[in-house]
Structure 1
Amino acid sequence: MNTVLAIEALRFGWPGAAPCIDIERLHVAAGETLFLHGPSGCGKSTLLSLMAGVLVADAGRVALLGHDWAALSGAARDRCRVAHVGYIFQQFNLLPYLSVLDNVLLPCRFSPRRRAQAAQDGSARAQAEALLVGMGLDPALWRRPAMKLSVGQQQRVAAARALIGRPELVIADEPTSALDEAHRDAFLDVLLAACAAHRSALVFVSHDRRLATRFGRELSLPDINRAQGDPA
């Protein structure tokens, strides 16, 4: 198995609080699609931040492509994250005054690797446009500042940005919450197809367990998290 993400004996707690994450082992393979669910406060967003190296474990190991996040400097973690991780945030984190296209192309500006990977489709712009078409974003919107889009449109732009450049790991934090059923299904079609085509591992968090059948593996975070900590 070609492991993209390896978690072993992971413990994490916020300063002054009991540990909220305590996971003995979780591995995610290249091309695998993992559906992760659990109630509010069970640590889902905290765990995703640990997977992406935004947070660093208090104990144990979280490794991306064999590199332990805790062994890297802050700057090295930033470089590794932008080169190898596509992250769909709950709050999208789009740059409001940049156009839709420029937001999608941001990872290619910061990572030569993502730019070169995107260019395999002809150019980074060509891949950005193909992703936006797949997400159902009308070309008339591509030059519009992100702040002028609806919440659902912004969510799809954030997904296209995460997928560009064929990252080895895609992390999606409640990415369908603002989409109606038709757009949700189209979104999942594009997300899963892109991850399959590029052999990207996908970790997808949602409260909507009806979506779990679309994924290769389903996990309940409370079942693997031995900590009973603060809401996260």
Structure 2
Amino acid sequence: MIPVLSVDQLRFAWPRHEAPMLDIETLSVDAGEAVFLHGPSGCGKSTLLSLMAGVLVADAGHAKLLGHDWGKLTRRQRDRTRVAHVGYIFQQFNLLSYLSVIDNVLLPCRFSPRRASRADGTPRAHAEQLLQRMGLDKALWQRPALQLSVGQQQRVAAARALIGHPELVIADEPTSALDEDRREAFLDTLMSACEANRSALVFVSHDRRIAERFGRHVWLPDINRAALASESQ
């Protein structure tokens, strides 16, 4: 069976940096698998997530989604593939501030017929269901996203990532602005949705308290040969 996500001999360096930030021999994530990815600040976690989602393209090697190599797709093809198959909770949320909460959640379905067809009921019904499960008061659904608190925006971003049951969900520090009760409810919703639909989940966090909820842990410096090379110098 083809993994949802696979990385093979991947190398990436930022422009004007001679040494690679990431040099990973292999990493794969199967359908329904939940991976807790962690490591110190600056070790390349967010960069790796961007490579997994085709936001960035590797300098060498391969990052594949459902067997399709991101590096062999045009920018437009990458954009279409991402919205059809990937739910991404960005660290800075990336909500459209002038759109309402409900319209932000519906964006993947507006850009991808596949995501719209996979929604529970109508896309709007699925969006409302997710917002309810995220504990966001119905009175907020028609407000522009810019009027929400940071924690509320975080939950809207998660609902947007989950709508239409993408095969891969990527979460970059998604609980950083939530209190303990909200964090646990958020994780319950995120992980149960991924489990029910066999979505692969890659979750980055510095919060080791939640690591026990994941079936697999990856310490990025252990698999990043660039980090090992730097330490040996």
| TM-score (ref. length: structure 2) | 0.96
Gaps of 5+ in 1: none
Aligned partner of 1:165 in structure 2 is: 164
The offset of 1:15, in angstroms, is 1.3
User: Over aligned residues, Cα RMSD in angstroms?
Assistant: 1.1
3-state SS of paired residue (1:202): strand
Partner of 1:85: 86
Q: Which residue of 1 aligns with 2:73?
A: 72
Q: What secondary structure sits across from 1:191 in the alignment?
A: helix
Q: Which residue of 1 aligns with 2:9?
A: 9
Query: Hey, what does 1:54 align to over in structure 2?
Result: 55
- What does residue 206 of structure 1 align with? 205
Q: Structure 1: how far apart are the matches of 2:196 and 2:127?
A: 15
Query: How far apart are residue 169 of structure 1 and its match?
Result: 0.3
Tell me how far apart the structure 1 counterparts of residues 141 and 132 of structure 2 sit (CA, whole Å): 10
User: Is the 1:134–1:190 Cα contact (8 Å) retained in structure 2?
Assistant: yes
Q: Which runs of 5+ in 2 are unaligned?
A: none
Q: SS state of the match for residue 3, structure 1?
A: coil
Structure-2 residue corresponding to 1:220:
219
The one-letter code sitting in structure 2 at the alignment partner of 1:81 is R
Q: What does residue 194 of structure 2 align with?
A: 195
Deviation at 1:122, TM superposition (A): 1.4
Equivalences for residues 34-183 of structure 1 within 5 A = 34-118=35-119, 121-183=120-182
Per-residue CA distance 1:75-118 (angstroms, 9 max, x = gap): 00000000000000000000011110000000000000001011
Q: How far off its partner does 1:2 sit?
A: 4.4
**Mapped partners of 1:8, 1:195: distance in 2:** 25
Using the alignment, how far apart are the partners of 1:225 and 1:6 within structure 2? 15
Q: Alignment length, in residue pairs?
A: 228
* AA of the residue aligned to 2:72: A
SS at match of 1:61: strand
**Contact kept in structure 2, 1:2 and 1:30, CA below 8 Å:** no
Q: Residue type of the partner of 1:4?
A: V
Q: Distance in 1 between matches of 2:136 and 2:168?
A: 24
Question: Residues 132-180 of structure 1: CA distance to partner in whole angstroms, max 9, x if unpaired?
Answer: 0110001111011100000000000000000001000000000000000
Identity %: 75
Contact 2:2-2:67 within 8 A present in 1 as well: no
SS at match of 2:203: strand
Which amino acid letter does the alignment assign opposite residue 3 of structure 1?
P
How far residue 16 of structure 1 moved from its aligned partner, in angstroms, is 1.8
